[in-house]
Structure formats: C-alpha cells, structure tokens
Amino acid sequence: MSPAINYQKTTLKNGVRVIVAPMENTRAVTVLVLFGTGSKYETKKINGVSHYLEHMFFKGTEKRPKTIDISSLLDGVGGEFNAFTSEEFTGYYVKVATAHFDLALDVVSDILLHSKFDAKEVNRERGVIVEEINMRNDNPMQKVMELWNALLYGDQPAGWPVAGTKETMAGIKRKDIIDYFNKQYVGDNAVVTVAGNTKDGDALKKVEKYFSPLRPGKSYDKGEVRDVQNHPAVLLHTKQTDQTHVCLGARGFNLFDPRKYAAQLMATVLGGGMSSRMFISVRERKGLVYYVSTMCDSDTDTGSILTRAGIDNTKVEKAVATIVSEYKKIKREKVSDSELKKAKNYIRGKTYLGLEASDDVAEFLGGQEILENQILSTEEILKHLESVTPKQVQGVAREMFVPEHMNLALVGPFEDKSKFEELIGEI
C-alpha cells in the first residue's frame, strides 16, 4: 500500500491557490506554478501567444536583467528549471535541494511578476520559436500528434498548434504578449504547488510572501469547442520519410465524464505495455512497427483514444487494418476478468512509480487543481478504476469505435487517403 499524499490547500487574499505537500523521504523541493491558460484561450491572430509568453519569462526581470542572471543562479545550485505550455494550462517549475527553497521561490516569482518583456528580446525570441516550429515539423512523431488535434477539431483553438505557426509568429507584437499576460496571469487563475522536504507552515508563509503581489482578478474563459463528426476522417501530411507515423483512434470522454475510467482501462488493455494486445499483434506477431501504444487523452471539454505507431512504409495498410481489427475485437468480445485485473494493476503500479519524486507529486496535485478545481487522492482515483467491469469496458468500446467517430492522422509518403478512409470505416 502506497502512503497517501498529505497536502494542505490554502487560498491567498489575491485568489492564488497554494498547495503544500511535505515529503520526508527526499532532499529536494519543487515549486510549480500553473496558470489556467493555453492555446485554447487564443484567437487565430495571436495563435501561439501563450507559448511565446512562456519563453519571454526567462528573458530578464528588473532585478535580473539578462537571461544568464536567471539561469546562472539556478545552475549554480544544480537546480532543474523549465516551463511548458499546453492547450489548457501553462506551467513554470524549479526543483532544487531543500536548502535552496527560498532561492527557487524568489526566482520563479520574480520572472512571473517582474519580467521586462524587452522589445529586443521579444524580436530575438521570435526567431527561436520559429526554429522550434521547424524542429517539430521535421519530427514526424511530434508532427502527427499536432495533426491529430487539427483533424479532430479543425480551424478553432482546440485544433491549432500550441506553438502557433510561422505566420502567426511573424504577426504577434509585444503589445499582444503584454495584453494577454495582463488578462490571464491573475490571482484567480494561478495555482502554486510546493512539494518536497519542507514544513508546510513555513512553506505557506514563504509562498504568501513571494506571491501576494500577483494582481487579483479573474481571467477570461475559453470558448466552447465544436466537437462534431459524421463520417470517418483522414488527414495526410505527405512527406518522404523512411517510416510512416500514425495516430488512429476515436473521439472520447472529457475529464469530468465518469466513463473516462473504463476508457482508460480499455486503452491499457489495447496498448499499455509490451504485453498489450496492440504490441503483440502489430509488432510481435506481424513485425509491422517499431513502436505502438494506445492512450486516452482528456481535457476539460474534449477527449479521445488513439493508437500511435511508427510503421514500415510498405505495410501501412496492413498495420492500420490490424489496429482496426483490435478495436473491433474489444467491441465484440468482453475483456476477461484476468486481463482487466492486469490492466488495473498496471495502472496502479504506474501511478505509484509516477509519484516517487517531488516534481511528480507537484504536477499530480497542481494539475488536478488547475483543470478540475478539485484534487482526488491516488486511492480515490484507483477506487474508480477498480470498480470498472468488463461490461463497462465493452460499453465504451461500442460507443467510441463507430465509423462516424473514427480518425486517422498520418505522416508519410502517401497522397491518396481514400483507401485509409475505407479501412477505418470498416470498424
């Protein structure tokens, strides 16, 4: 039995939610600051501004005018620090030895509250982000995931690339970045999580000291996602590659839908680990792929299940047909009790292993709070999973794997999508 994660949650006067989770069996502490904003909160004109802003926080503050003034401090104590942007939230973290906890809070609060957004740095970073976009476009494994969102949601924020495009990067001005910052980086939209070897009372006082100056206020919300589909859909990105990369799956359930637990277990049965159905049938028995896995992806308003694979260019149709056949099989036949139990144990083990470090705990707690406004314990989550039956797994399979919900995104040397549409429509 894994020990429960103990934590204290407090809301400061300016609306900032603070979560402190003391951990005795570590000498590290992580400070993770999340804001409930990302690419789903953007307009077409400024697509990519959330990610652009994330970059700009490391370009100098009033107290630390240059990038090196920030990075050298944390490098000097062997700290880990980075940031990330997604569709629905943006995060900033510093992980250090416990003795440097105050330094971590000082630096992360400084960049978030006192960045200068220097005009020269804004223009310089524009080129850096364009190169990041180029890198993603040249990486088929990353590109196919971007295509997956574009296929599911089309020309709306949920379907746009998180980093924006080279065209939108050229048009975003310093004023756009500052306006977005002023609207979204406010107290009610922030969660500060501290996890690691620190006393909860002391940690709370320190967080309050550093983050009380954050402006109070409510951010603006994202628009509703249009999530409609009437027939099988295929999106091809024609590129001369040595291996074809695909995402093949169906529309699914959002974070607040209780069916997500059955869907997660179904994904584990299908493609979780090296003894899963997809791995055995697509790779081991037929030798069609190097990598193959199935996963559920859930946001606050949308969800999907997808199988990712890297396939021999000459065997793509056969691999797609094999993946579809596994989807058909799990619709047709109930998962056995033993296979479902194995999937539950797999998720339990991965959950516990994924909470060994302070940064993992911070992300587990802070991520739930920023997206769902509540925090379930590991045991509460696992209890929901434990209650899922073979009949419920078959039920979600029959709901999801129907022709009008099926989608295939593909990067490889193909131009005609008609055969692929036919294959995924045979579900």
122 and 260 co-located in one domain: no
- pLDDT of 1: 41
**pTM, whole model, 2 decimals?**
0.96
Instruction: Identify whether 369 is a catalytic site residue.
Output: no
Residue 227, in any domain of the structure? no
List the catalytic residue out of 54, 87, 125, 369.
Answer: 54
186 and 265 co-located in one domain: no
pLDDT per residue as tens digits for the range 174-205 = 999 999 999 999 999 999 999 999 876 799 99
243 and 295 co-located in one domain: yes
Residue 383, in any domain of the structure? yes
User: Which residues of the chain have a pLDDT value below 70?
Assistant: 1-3, 200
131 and 24 co-located in one domain: yes
Residue 223, in any domain of the structure? no
Torsion of CA 354, 358, 364, 370, to 10 degrees: -160
> Which residues lie below 8 Å from residue 214, measured CB to CB, with a gap of 6+?
14, 16, 112, 113, 185, 186, 187, 190
3-state DSSP assignment of residue 49: helix
> Which residues lie below 8 Å from residue 187, measured CB to CB, with a gap of 6+?
12, 14, 15, 16, 214, 215, 216, 217
244 and 159 co-located in one domain: no
Displacement of CA 244 from its chain's centroid (Å): 23
3-state DSSP assignment of residue 275: coil
Residue 219, in any domain of the structure? no
408 and 343 co-located in one domain: yes
186 and 300 co-located in one domain: no
Residue 409, in any domain of the structure? yes
239 and 204 co-located in one domain: no
Where in the sequence is the domain holding 332, given as residue range(s)? Answer: 233-424
Contact (CB, 8 A) for 107 and 73: yes
Residue 36, in any domain of the structure? yes
159 and 112 co-located in one domain: yes
185 and 260 co-located in one domain: no
- pLDDT of 201: 79
Asked which of 178, 211, 244 is the last residue of a domain, the reply is: 211
- pLDDT of 199: 77
* Alpha carbons 166 and 156: distance in angstroms, whole number: 17
Q: In the chain, how long is the greatest CA-to-CA distance?
A: 63
Encoded tokens for 194: 């501290």
37 and 93 co-located in one domain: yes
* Alpha carbons 93 and 192: distance in angstroms, whole number: 10
CATH number, domain of 64, equals: 3.30.830.10
Contact (CB, 8 A) for 347 and 385: yes
* Vertex 247: Cα angle to 243 and 248 (nearest 5): 120
> Which residues lie below 8 Å from residue 76, measured CB to CB, with a gap of 6+?
none
Residue 85, in any domain of the structure? yes
110 and 156 co-located in one domain: yes
Tell me how many domains the chain contains.
2
Residue 381, in any domain of the structure? yes
pLDDT per residue as tens digits for the range 135-179 = 999 999 999 999 999 999 999 999 999 999 999 999 999 999 999
Secondary element (H or E) of residue 358: helix 358-372
